[in-house]
Chain A
Amino acid sequence: MKTNKLLNNKMCAIIGNEHEYNGLLPLTSNRPLSTLYFDCKYRIMDFALSSVVNANIKNVFMIMNEGRIKSIFDHLGGGREWGLDSIGSYQYTSFYQDILRRKAEGKTYFDDVIDYLQKSKATYTVFISNKILANVDLRAVLKIHQNQKNAITAVFKRVKREDIANDDQILELSENGAITDTKKFNDLSDKDDIYNLAMGFFIANTDWLINALYVGQNAGASTSIEEFLISELTKAKASAYEYTGYMSNIYNIKNYYKANMNMLDPEKFNSLLFSSQKVITRTKNEVATYFSATSEICLSQFATGCIIRGKIDHSLISRRSLVETGAIVKDSIIMGSANIGENAIIKYAILDKNVRVDPGVKIEGTTDKPVVIEKNKHITADVFGG
């Protein structure tokens, strides 16, 4: 008989932030992947955090990279929008580099994580790697995890080869769905068309995890908790959960661009943002977006606070952007506070925050190689190519 029924379903969460990709530069030169803009008003981290709070998890441990925290805290603030500022909610942060340093010094390096897990008094622990864009219902995953009576459950999705990064982990499954092997995508000798991509979402029994981390750090396990959990999938009693909703794996400019543009497909937009799981982001006080008498809009999305006087075609326009008369924005992503002058032409481009484009200037890339304009840049002459 269980003695503490009340805590039976309690979960806590660890959100990692270890992935960094050169392919996303310059968008990630001053921010971690998790605070990249997505679809006019979101940041990548909103999806992980929303999954967590939608599952009524109030206890969150975030592993961050040193020197990369400004944009995270700027976005998170006091956590009010996610309900992380209310009674019974706890947020902890820790630096990944501390874990690395302690390992290099020959010390035990998962102490902070273990300490957090012990204090959480949660029966289950969720781990999210914080780079995948998906709307995962963690309570549904928990149900399956409980039914399987295993130590750990990994969430995966069947994904095409071109949507997988070299450092992504692939699950090999037997006919009855058991995990038989795991491999880094880069280490696979011959490549098929479809793979079981481990999405970096796990649910583990907390007691088991604490013990595994103890044993792991004494045996020199990977400092990356994600890699550590993957390595445990073939050692411990583990099962796999197939996610069937919308997912984007973001690791270079091309698939970042594609993931955003996918939101102009109403089916994908609805699947990710109008599911039963609300995606929460930071709210801002902005005026409604104003479309002037000269504006021409075709298949585009807008956040609030914009003034649109030009032509917008198949593009995403973030908060507080100004597009002047005669300007054309086509197949492009415009992040917040852009100022696009009269008759400027922008095609296949990604404008980071706060970019100013002078009147008449052309910025043109291609579908495969969108031009990226860095944050705060003032563009005074034409920019072509990618």
Chain B
Amino acid sequence: MKNEMLAMILAGGQGSRLKKLTQNIAKPAVPFGGRYRIIDFTLSNCVNSGVRNIGVITQYQPLVLNNHIGNGASWGLDRLDSGVTILQPYSSKEGSKWFEGTAHAIYQNIDYIDSINPEYLLVLSGDHIYKMDYEDMLRVHKEKNAALTVAVIDVPWDEASRFGIMNTDENNRIIEFEEKPTEPKSNHASMGIYIFNWSRLREVLINGFTKNVPMVDFGKNVIPAYIQSGDNVFAYNFSGYWKDVGTIDSLWEANMEFIDDKGGLNIRDKSWRIYSKNPIAPPQFITQTATVNDSMVVDGCFVAGKVEHSILAANVQVKEGSTIKDSVIMPGASIGKNVKISRAIIGENAVIGANAEIDGTKEIAVVGNSEVIGVKTDED
């Protein structure tokens, strides 16, 4: 049986710009919005778009990510005609298959893709917060008879030089690609979302690697090669909320925008739900000493302090006398008494001892996963 479109999620990046937060987990597994991990958005978009065959390419610190995805049951991907497969680098007769870039990671998994035998290959990043209908993108891809369609979003002109910019003609055909141009000619930034005709991409990758013209990266190598060889490359314009959460600042910002939905992600829209692996925890307990305003709180939390414009993920404890402002507290973190936290991201299972002060006024403060700050007393 031929499967129409297979999604490959690139989830192997180290995410070194997230510093302490990705010390022991892959970037797509970093918690987001109190209830999610970053990859949930991409996985849910796939399921909501009717894409039910998904390969997740992992490499760096995959334990938490693998555990989170499991057999895909949380996204309804455990059915007989669908599936999510974790693809980890491995050694074979041809040597080690460690991934050197985005396109190289696809090349190393040709065997897996061939086993699904898709007509189209959807390539996705696992570290973006957005809601997008890939089925509509496929419709446009077919309509234009494209060999490759690249999803683009218009970014503010003054930020365009930070992105891969697609210069298009009046038919929305991409005629030039510039990676981080100093003087951008357009503001159509690549979202790192591609639809390829698989047979053509397969040929391009194998050709490249066998003839020593390595096709390591999509941006650097593959897209320019497509344009040069005259393949039909089209842009697909996306205009909703989209956030690359690859840095501490952008991760913090995206969380802050998530609280009151200023960004317009519309997370409560039931027609496009974001699914996640849901832990089982008792309801959240807010005591008589607590005040909670303009904040999001999740099951299993115990709040006795003051929480303002912040997100508390599952099983977070905030003791009496503590104040949390403009911050993200990740699952299982424990905040002792009389602690002050402002503009910070507190990692999973971190422990903040009594009277500690974490101030991110100058630069967003980060406490790593399981990191212990201050002295933990018995009472905490």
- A residues with a Cβ closer than 8 A to B are 39-41, 80-81, 266, 269, 273-274, 278-281, 283-305, 316
For chain B, what secondary structure do more than half of its interface residues adopt (helix, strand, loop), or is it mixed? Answer: loop
Can you report 5 A-B residue pairs in the complex whose CB atoms are below 8 A from each other?
A39-B282, A269-B282, A291-B297, A292-B294, A302-B283
B292 touches A291 (CB 8 A): yes
- Cβ-closest chain A residue relative to B296: A288
B278 touches A284 (CB 8 A): yes
Which residues on the A side are within 8 Å of B276 (C-beta)? Answer: 285
Which residues on the A side are within 8 Å of B278 (C-beta)? Answer: 283-285
B280 touches A291 (CB 8 A): no
Bound-state CA distance A81–B279 (Å) is 10
Give the segment of B1-9, B93-101, B221-229, B266-274 that binds chain A.
B266-274
B280 touches A283 (CB 8 A): yes
- The answer to whether A301 and B293 touch (CB under 8 A), given A283-B278, A285-B278, is no
Q: Does B284 contact A (CB under 8 A)?
A: yes
Which residues on the B side are within 8 Å of A289 (C-beta)? Answer: 284, 296-298
Which residues on the B side are within 8 Å of A304 (C-beta)? Answer: 35, 298-299
Bound-state CA distance A297–B295 (Å) is 12
Which chain B residues (51-80) contact chain A, with CB distance < 8 Å? 73
- Cβ-closest chain A residue relative to B33: A288
- The answer to whether A285 and B274 touch (CB under 8 A), given A291-B295, A304-B35, is yes
Bound-state CA distance A297–B292 (Å) is 7
Which residues on the A side are within 8 Å of B234 (C-beta)? Answer: none
Residues of chain B at interface, number, CB under 8 A: 35
Which residues on the B side are within 8 Å of A296 (C-beta)? Answer: 291
- The answer to whether A291 and B294 touch (CB under 8 A), given A285-B276, A298-B288, is yes
Bound-state CA distance A292–B294 (Å) is 4
Binary flags per residue of B249-278, CB closer than 8 Å to A gives 1, else 0: 000000000011000000110000111101
A279 to chain B, nearest CB (A): 8
Which residues on the B side are within 8 Å of A280 (C-beta)? Answer: 280
A299 touches B282 (CB 8 A): no
B284 touches A81 (CB 8 A): no
Q: Does B16 contact A (CB under 8 A)?
A: no
Bound-state CA distance A10–B223 (Å) is 61
Best-buried of A273, A279, A285, A301 by chain B (most CB within 10 Å) = A285
Q: Does B174 contact A (CB under 8 A)?
A: no
Contact check: which of A266, A295, A301 meets B284 at CB < 8 Å? A301
- The answer to whether A299 and B294 touch (CB under 8 A), given A80-B73, A283-B280, A288-B35, is no
B292 touches A303 (CB 8 A): no
B239 to chain A, nearest CB (A): 23
B286 touches A41 (CB 8 A): no
- The answer to whether A287 and B35 touch (CB under 8 A), given A81-B280, A298-B288, A301-B284, is yes
A266 touches B285 (CB 8 A): yes
Which residues on the B side are within 8 Å of A279 (C-beta)? Answer: 280, 282
A302 touches B293 (CB 8 A): no
A290 touches B259 (CB 8 A): yes
20 additional A-B pairs beyond A289-B284, A297-B291, A301-B286, beta carbons within 8 Å, are A41-B283, A81-B280, A280-B280, A287-B268, A288-B34, A288-B296, A288-B298, A288-B313, A290-B296, A291-B292, A291-B294, A291-B296, A298-B286, A299-B288, A300-B286, A302-B284, A302-B286, A304-B299, A305-B268, A316-B283
Best-buried of A41, A288, A298, A301 by chain B (most CB within 10 Å) = A288
- Cβ-closest chain B residue relative to A282: B280
B55 to chain A, nearest CB (A): 23
Best-buried of B279, B280, B290, B313 by chain A (most CB within 10 Å) = B280
Which residues on the A side are within 8 Å of B73 (C-beta)? Answer: 80
Bound-state CA distance A292–B278 (Å) is 24
- Cβ-closest chain A residue relative to B261: A290
Which residues on the A side are within 8 Å of B365 (C-beta)? Answer: none
B284 to chain A, nearest CB (A): 5
A40 touches B280 (CB 8 A): no
